[in-house]
Amino acid sequence: MNPIIHLVKKAQNGDDQAFLMIFQHYQENLYRMAYVYVKNQEEALDVIQEVAYQSFKSINTLKNPEYVKTWLIKITINCAINAINKKKKVVPFKAQYEEYIGSETNENIPLSLSIQDVMEYLQEDEKSVILLRFYQNYTFKEISQALEIPLGTAKSILYRALNKLRERMEEVDFYE
């Protein structure tokens, strides 16, 4: 029997140390996933803390122990999206008041385009599929299970997202 599956079963029977071992095994992958969404180390750590709490609280709802990584990633995506949505509720500072606090921007910083910047043009479902496919090396079947969408939908979302990324890269003459 796979040691992770054995640990999941122990955790579902109330073994806190088993849960801790599972979480520590996947924490680096979960952190990277959270960071790509929130783009901030502190916020990513907050997301991971919430993932630990949510997954610990609901470990008994995991029906198939062999999908524990997929289950944790799904919780991570949901927690990251929740963190982003909470952040959107914050009223942004109006530029007209900037003169009173001073500007912290440096005009000499060259503009650069990163993959992370381009990913901002994607919808949340597109971003999730791209991250699972290329950062976590998930198959289409695993993506459809993780996001609870049909297999064909996972494929079409990926191709739509790749086309958007390609178009965006061409707009800025980054892609040739």
**pLDDT exceeds 80 at position 115:** no
The HSE-up count of residue 52 (CA atoms within 13 Å, CB side) is 18
Q: Give the C-alpha separation, 80 to 35, whole Å.
A: 8
Q: Which domains does the chain have, with CATH numbers?
A: 1-89 (1.10.1740.10), 112-176 (1.10.10.10)
pLDDT for 86 equals 83
**pLDDT exceeds 50 at position 30:** yes
Read off the tokens for 135.
Answer: 């950062």
Read off the tokens for 158.
Answer: 């990926």
Q: Rounded to a whole number, what is the distance in angstroms from the first to the last CA of the chain? A: 48
pLDDT for 169 equals 74
Contact 78, 30 (CB under 8 A): no
pLDDT for 71 equals 93
Kindly indicate the confidence band of residue 176, based on its pLDDT and cuts at 50, 70 and 90.
very low
Per the prediction, the chain carries an average pLDDT of 81
Report helix, strand or coil for 137. Answer: coil
Contact 22, 10 (CB under 8 A): no
Kindly indicate the confidence band of residue 142, based on its pLDDT and cuts at 50, 70 and 90.
confident
**pLDDT exceeds 50 at position 105:** no
* Residues near 143 by beta carbon (within 8 Å), at least 6 away in sequence: 129, 132, 133, 149, 154, 158
pTM of the entire structure?
0.66
Kindly indicate the confidence band of residue 166, based on its pLDDT and cuts at 50, 70 and 90.
confident
